[in-house]
Amino acid sequence: MRAFIFPGQGSQAIGMGAALAEASRPAKDVFAEVDEALGQNLFRLMREGPDDKLKLTENAQPAIMAHSIAVLRTLGVDLAGVANFVAGHSLGEYSALCAAGAFDLATTAKLLKLRGQAMQQAVPVGEGAMAALLGADLVLAQKIADAAERGEVCTVANDNDPSQVVISGHKAAIDRAIEMAKDMGAKRAIALPVSAPFHCPLMQPAADAMQDALSYVVVETPAVPLFANVTAQPTTDPDTIRTQLVEQVTGMVRWRESVANMFNAGVHEFVEVGGKVLGPMVKRIAPDAKVTSVVTIEDIEAMAKEIA
């Protein structure tokens, strides 16, 4: 069994998609359709930068999704014929749903633009922060977060793999967690270069905005089940998907559990579409799994031969 997985924020880079668009008409069409849907020249920003503008959440989210879908359409496969499940890390969940036909491309781009803006606006710049705890599992990360809280928000945002957990919340609480992490048993704690504290209760205004936006959107039944971030379980029900996308804004990304549950369900091949971020995490969660990252035209050609 095979799962197609889609990367989240942080996988953006200047030049992303440029060579692909030159080599592939379907990819070029994806970037043009996203530009038209958003009313901005996002693809030029992806190709040329500047980096600080591409990193802005409202640009990075639709850019990463567009790149993943461009790779997938260049691959030119019927997803249901080659994959048993899809999953995505945070915003990658939208890419996965677009790939599986739950949302069309233009709708996905608009939702992610709005999601990025809403997440950025939910907390004033400088009030929130995130940190990666390395050499810490979920139990230890939760202990550190609880100890650092002191009446402020400090909670686990991403359970990425057995050795990397991300916490999120008020900046002062995250600073305290970074200070005490090593003494409590973590190898290292690193402040993340993010502009807002994602996946924590401080994001409630963004969750409200997404609930409103998603209430107007048609969600089709995906061609293959989605392993959802907030439950680490598969679903194909449109109403459930809509609800879980709202919960995902403030909820923990249960990536480690999602991969482990897919592996236990019989998935022994994971294909990361449009990035090389999730593959190493998958290998730490399920060392026996086969992991392939598909980014370049050469990667796509190799994958096309394999699944033909």
Which residues belong to the active site?
A: 90, 199
Tokens 């995902």 correspond to what residue?
248
Contact 27, 70 (CB under 8 A): yes
Handedness of CA 71, 77, 78, 79 (dihedral sign): negative
Q: Bridge-partner residues for 234, per DSSP?
A: 227
| 212-31-93 Cα angle (round to 5) | 45
Sequence-distant (≥ 6) Cβ neighbours of residue 22 within 8 angstroms:
28
- Report the distance separating Cα 174 and Cα 128, nearest Å: 8
Q: What does residue 187 show for φ and ψ, rounded to 5 degrees? A: -70, -50
